[in-house]
Chain A
């Protein structure tokens, strides 16, 4: 629900966000450091994996504009909106670069302890 709403909002606001984000080239390393420093990892995990706290952000993050608009404007009860005073547009672009750099997760079929798991317990 939120995701859809913010993608729509992003379309309207894309001009401003894109303009300020373009000031410097986004950096994966800086993005990771910022992601850890400003606490995104607390709710979303260091690799954007999500879990009990926040949504899954990576791999395949939202497009940059949609991500920025969510972070700037969310009214979520659980996630605070980050103003430019706390997180600049450049920071957001860096975070997006970091999240985009996170590789695809391995298939559970390639992991021995997940391979044979089924929704009902296999009888021994």
Chain B
């Protein structure tokens, strides 16, 4: 595609350089060789590509930090700084080498700092965890073609989990600049097409001013609820070209984000229904985007003495609060006269029982009012079915839950009469008792199999809690579901702060756990907080390289392996199918066990330079091992303890 800008003299000079470099055989291989070499010492720039070297003969090479911007990618970094991007998670690649060079030299590898990743899926997973822990958008760089393909599943997770990730896709738009076969294979006409079904927006800017406007817009879109990944195709030539008249380029004003919220009339009606209800139930999914969301939900629940069922997508509500009634959730829904679903992924499933091929059965009693408040519909796309079943409820407010809560709280306050206040106050006692009883039941239940080997998930979780409970701790990842470890953390640990739990993968794409934990732990680095990752073995093996990233960047993170030596969930399903068909279960371990040979996760971690112990199958040895590992994390380094566990 010829473009008008190609007549620019300097660009032509640069393009000529690329063509010359591309013609030589050494130049064609060099980028790959550079990538295959062992990573240089921490935070040092990678060798420039042949194309860059040639290009740079015509302009000064920035070797010192604090230089004036001299090339397109320097300006790109200025824009990244302006929108507040602190880190770039990336597996290095030629198509964005000039931009990477600007990060490490021009920006002096600070805000943004380049985080060395070993797979694009890990880059996005880390960005995903970082964004949730920091409350900021996180960036990745990847090749537009092969990199985006590697990154795709993790982008889908981030999309389903409503997380702002900005993916810069290194591309080479102008065909006449592609000097060799690989550069052709690594270029795309529309690279974001591959992930467009599960990103909010994308662009392919062709000038630097266009880039500035795209990134500021993309950042704003990513951060506006419902938050989502966005992509910016980042042209190699645009990155490489010398920068003239920097002062003519303008970074647009960064507008504060005002999320979509429910309208006054609808919110008042919701408040009226809630105040009038005798057995209201509140359910929360992706609600608390920030610590404020958690406080608001506590305020609303207390005003109404309404039980809260926290679905585990974020830490929406303290589990120590007497209104946290997840343990009795199903019973409460059946008895509810009003159910308020706040940012639920699956509102239909929350209040209906699934019946194959049929419409399903309402769980709630006749006449119960079901209300949804969620921004989900604003992000719905047709292809991937993550938008879930049509809920068919009594009221649906399409607006962000957290942003709607202040108005809802005010409306509830105005609707409360003295009579209703008395009725509502009388509800508290029963919930206090139920909350205490549920906790005590879990405390009793966790002793079942206490001394078993393999170690029970309850024992693993409680030995871990014992080591961290007096610290400022955060359970930064449990992978795809906390039920994989018996939900023990939320049954028995004390979650009182928003940062103590970040939710799950969103899309259920395996391979999220470890990278997300590393990214979140990076956000917690320097705060003295102990970041803890409960890590399933199957998930770990998708992206073990993420642990090397933690070692390389000295990221304090305790990874506790829930090593049940199987894809346990699938073991159950294959077992289910075989049993149902009466064909015997002996072979259901084929393809589901990870046991022959058993993986030695401690050795694997040690080979990355990570402190590690295990495998530990004797429960009596677990506490001391965890204590030693936590001591390493307190010093600011990663550590791993491999626990041989029961299936769940």
Q: Contact partner of B466 among A46, A50, A105, A113, CB < 8 A?
A: A113
Q: What does the 1/0 interface line of A26-65 toward B look like (CB < 8 Å)?
A: 0000000000011101110111111111001011000000
Q: Are A42 and B448 in contact (CB under 8 A)?
A: no
Q: Which of A71-93 contact B (CB under 8 A)?
A: 77-83, 85-86
Contacts of A39 in B (CB 8 A): 571, 575, 585, 588
Interface check B580, CB cutoff 8 A: yes
User: Which residue of chain B has the shortest Cβ distance to A76 in the bound complex?
Assistant: B576
Contacts of B448 in A (CB 8 A): 45, 47-50, 56, 58-59, 105
Total A residues in contact with B, Cβ cutoff 8 Å: 40
Q: Are B452 and A45 in contact (CB under 8 A)?
A: yes
A97: min CB distance to chain B, Å: 18
Contacts of A4 in B (CB 8 A): none
Known contacts: A45-B646, A56-B448. The answer to whether A80 contacts B456 by CB under 8 A is no
Q: Which of B175-208 contact A (CB under 8 A)?
A: none
A52: min CB distance to chain B, Å: 4
Known contacts: A41-B647, A80-B580, A107-B447. The answer to whether A46 contacts B454 by CB under 8 A is yes
Q: Contact partner of A52 among B440, B447, B485, CB < 8 A?
A: B485
B434: min CB distance to chain A, Å: 10
Interface check B487, CB cutoff 8 A: yes
User: Which residue of chain A has the shortest Cβ distance to B432 in the bound complex?
Assistant: A119
Interface check B210, CB cutoff 8 A: no
Known contacts: A105-B450, A111-B450, A114-B446. The answer to whether A43 contacts B647 by CB under 8 A is yes
Which secondary structure dominates chain B's binding surface? Answer: helix
> Bound state CA distance, A124 and B494, in angstroms?
13
User: Which residue of chain B has the shortest Cβ distance to A110 in the bound complex?
Assistant: B447
Interface check A117, CB cutoff 8 A: yes
Q: Are A82 and B579 in contact (CB under 8 A)?
A: yes
Known contacts: A106-B447, A108-B444, A124-B470. The answer to whether A52 contacts B496 by CB under 8 A is no
Contacts of B456 in A (CB 8 A): 45, 47, 49, 51
Q: What does the 1/0 interface line of B462-501 toward A look like (CB < 8 Å)?
A: 1101100010000000000111111100001010100000
Q: Contact partner of B585 among A46, A86, A106, CB < 8 A?
A: A86
Q: Contact partner of B647 among A42, A82, A83, A124, CB < 8 A?
A: A42
Contacts of A105 in B (CB 8 A): 444, 447-450
> Bound state CA distance, A58 and B487, in angstroms?
19
> Bound state CA distance, A122 and B645, in angstroms?
30
Known contacts: A39-B575, A49-B452. The answer to whether A117 contacts B646 by CB under 8 A is no
Interface check A120, CB cutoff 8 A: yes
Contacts of A83 in B (CB 8 A): 579, 582
User: Which residue of chain B has the shortest Cβ distance to A57 in the bound complex?
Assistant: B448
B563: min CB distance to chain A, Å: 15
Contacts of A107 in B (CB 8 A): 447
Q: Are A111 and B320 in contact (CB under 8 A)?
A: no
Q: Are A51 and B579 in contact (CB under 8 A)?
A: no
Which size class do B's interface residues fall under?
A: 35 or more
Contacts of B583 in A (CB 8 A): 86
> Bound state CA distance, A124 and B583, in angstroms?
57
Interface check B387, CB cutoff 8 A: no
Interface check B505, CB cutoff 8 A: no
Interface check B435, CB cutoff 8 A: yes
> Bound state CA distance, A124 and B465, in angstroms?
16
Q: Are A119 and B320 in contact (CB under 8 A)?
A: yes
Contacts of B443 in A (CB 8 A): 108, 114, 117
Interface check B170, CB cutoff 8 A: no
Q: Contact partner of B445 among A47, A56, A81, CB < 8 A?
A: A56
Q: Contact partner of B579 among A46, A81, A113, A120, CB < 8 A?
A: A81
Q: Which of B339-364 contact A (CB under 8 A)?
A: 354
> Bound state CA distance, A43 and B568, in angstroms?
9
Most buried by B among A43, A49, A107, A111: A49
Q: Are A80 and B445 in contact (CB under 8 A)?
A: no
B579: min CB distance to chain A, Å: 4
User: Which residue of chain B has the shortest Cβ distance to A105 in the bound complex?
Assistant: B447
Contacts of B466 in A (CB 8 A): 113
> Bound state CA distance, A50 and B584, in angstroms?
23
Q: What does the 1/0 interface line of B606-648 toward A look like (CB < 8 Å)?
A: 0000000000000000010000000000000000000000111
B535: min CB distance to chain A, Å: 15
Known contacts: A47-B452, A113-B463. The answer to whether A53 contacts B647 by CB under 8 A is yes
Q: Contact partner of B582 among A42, A46, A85, CB < 8 A?
A: A85
Contacts of B486 in A (CB 8 A): 51-52
User: Which residue of chain B has the shortest Cβ distance to A79 in the bound complex?
Assistant: B576
Q: Are A120 and B320 in contact (CB under 8 A)?
A: yes
Q: Are B450 and A106 in contact (CB under 8 A)?
A: yes
User: Which residue of chain B has the shortest Cβ distance to A114 in the bound complex?
Assistant: B443
Q: Are B646 and A108 in contact (CB under 8 A)?
A: no
Known contacts: A80-B580, A81-B579, A119-B439. The answer to whether A42 contacts B571 by CB under 8 A is yes
A39: min CB distance to chain B, Å: 5
B365: min CB distance to chain A, Å: 16
Interface check B90, CB cutoff 8 A: no
Most buried by A among B439, B454, B576, B578: B576
User: Which residue of chain A has the shortest Cβ distance to B470 in the bound complex?
Assistant: A124
B486: min CB distance to chain A, Å: 4
Interface check B458, CB cutoff 8 A: yes
> Bound state CA distance, A49 and B575, in angstroms?
19
Q: Which of B409-445 contact A (CB under 8 A)?
A: 435-436, 438-440, 443-445
A111: min CB distance to chain B, Å: 7
Q: Contact partner of B447 among A79, A82, A114, A124, CB < 8 A?
A: A114
Contacts of B92 in A (CB 8 A): none
Q: Are B452 and A117 in contact (CB under 8 A)?
A: no
Interface check B39, CB cutoff 8 A: no
> Bound state CA distance, A50 and B485, in angstroms?
11
B647: min CB distance to chain A, Å: 5
User: Which residue of chain B has the shortest Cβ distance to A38 in the bound complex?
Assistant: B585
Q: Are B648 and A53 in contact (CB under 8 A)?
A: yes
Q: Are B450 and A45 in contact (CB under 8 A)?
A: no
What are the 10 closest A-B residue pairs judged by CB atoms, nearest first? A49-B449, A49-B448, A119-B439, A80-B579, A52-B648, A51-B486, A52-B483, A121-B494, A105-B447, A47-B449
19 contacts between A and B (CB under 8 A): A37-B586, A39-B571, A39-B575, A42-B566, A47-B448, A47-B452, A51-B647, A77-B354, A78-B576, A80-B579, A86-B582, A105-B448, A106-B447, A106-B450, A108-B444, A113-B462, A119-B440, A120-B494, A121-B320
Q: Which residue numbers of B lie inside 8 Å of A, CB to CB?
A: 320, 354, 435-436, 438-440, 443-450, 452, 454, 456-458, 462-463, 465-466, 470, 481-487, 492, 494, 496, 566, 568, 571-572, 575-580, 582-586, 588, 623, 646-648
Q: Name 11 extra pairs, CB < 8 A, besides A82-B579, A105-B449, A119-B440.
A: A37-B586, A46-B454, A49-B646, A51-B457, A53-B648, A79-B576, A80-B579, A81-B580, A106-B447, A114-B462, A119-B435
